[in-house]
């Protein structure tokens, strides 16, 4: 079954074929012309992302885009990070979810200003959503801006938010082949964080293999391993953030 429309995907045209939709246009006497366009479909997002980048540099904000599949532990990592950052560096958070304010409420409980973006149909944040959220956050020059993207390893890959660095999280409760299955998002990441390492004794997860797979996609990828709930590896993560 096709996950998009519920049809039997085996009966569909091959990938990268072409499709003719609805009824054919009626015959006409007007001359048909071929118009060369060469337009980048992502250009409005690129444009907005550049605008965000200008905003970040003007306010000396370091924007970090956190991406992972649902349940990899982004919000828990953020809570623990913000608690430890208190007194060291100002922080702001943008939360992306399809529905609810739940995550932003968890973040605000740490004393950090947070804006929740409810993306509705979209399963990713785009640059204009981030731009609108920026207007709702207090001015806080020199702060870290942590952007928790919608839990999804596919869709956020195509959308530049204007961030300084993209961080991808894989928890040990997932497969160590995640990088091979979702290469695009790993290709654009600066840092891979392997989370929930306290669960390693109970799961089948080969950390070495996961890192190897990820570096086949992105040879320059940095890697950190941590358990946000136990606190192991958090210092290295805070040091990495300090360098941003």
What is the smallest separation between the CB atom of 238 and other proteins, expressed in angstroms? 30
69 or 112: CB nearest other proteins: 69
What is the smallest separation between the CB atom of 80 and other proteins, expressed in angstroms? 30
What is the smallest separation between the CB atom of 126 and other proteins, expressed in angstroms? 7
31 or 208: CB nearest other proteins: 31
180 or 199: CB nearest other proteins: 180
Strand order in the sheet with 165-171: 114-118, 91-97, 144-148, 62-68, 165-171, 191-195, 222-225
What is the smallest separation between the CB atom of 199 and other proteins, expressed in angstroms? 28
Helix (H) or strand (E) holding 68: strand 62-68
- Any idea which residue has 């409760």 for tokens? 173
Strands, E assignment, 77-217: 91-97, 114-118, 144-148, 165-171, 191-195
CB 67 within 8 A of CB 186: no
How many other CB atoms are there within 10 angstroms of residue 152's CB atom? 20
Reading phi first (left if > 0) and then psi (alpha if -120 to 50, else beta), residue 64 is in beta
CB 123 within 8 A of CB 151: no
Residues that bind other proteins (CB under 8 A): 2, 4-5, 9, 12-13, 15-25, 28, 30-42, 44, 121-124, 126, 154-155, 157-159, 180, 182-185, 187, 216-217, 219
25 or 243: CB nearest other proteins: 25
58 or 208: CB nearest other proteins: 208
What is the smallest separation between the CB atom of 37 and other proteins, expressed in angstroms? 5
């Amino acid at each position: 079954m096709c996950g998009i429309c519920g049809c039997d995907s085996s009966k569909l045209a091959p990938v990268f074929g072409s499709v003719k939709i609805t009824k054919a246009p009626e015959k006409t006497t007007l001359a048909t012309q071929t118009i060369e366009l060469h337009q980048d479909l992502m250009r409005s997002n690129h444009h907005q992302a550049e605008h965000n980048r200008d905003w970040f540099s003007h306010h000396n904000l370091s924007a970090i885009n956190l991406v992972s599949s649902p349940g990899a532990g982004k919000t828990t990592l953020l809570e623990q990070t913000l608690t430890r950052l208190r007194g060291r560096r100002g922080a702001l958070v943008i939360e992306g979810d399809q529905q609810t304010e739940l995550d932003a409420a968890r973040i605000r409980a740490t004393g950090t200003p947070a804006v929740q973006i409810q993306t509705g149909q979209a399963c990713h944040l785009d640059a204009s959503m981030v731009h609108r959220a920026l207007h709702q956050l207090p001015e806080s020059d020199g702060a870290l801006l942590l952007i928790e993207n919608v839990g999804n390893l596919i869709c956020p890959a195509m959308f530049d938010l204007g961030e300084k660095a993209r961080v991808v999280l894989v928890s040990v409760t997932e497969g160590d082949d995640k990088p091979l299955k979702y290469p695009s998002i790993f290709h654009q990441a600066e840092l891979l964080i392997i989370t929930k390492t306290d669960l390693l004794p109970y799961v089948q997860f080969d950390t070495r293999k996961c890192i190897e797979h990820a570096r086949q996609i992105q040879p320059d990828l940095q890697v950190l391993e941590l358990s946000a709930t136990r606190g192991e590896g958090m210092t290295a993560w805070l040091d990495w953030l300090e360098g941003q």
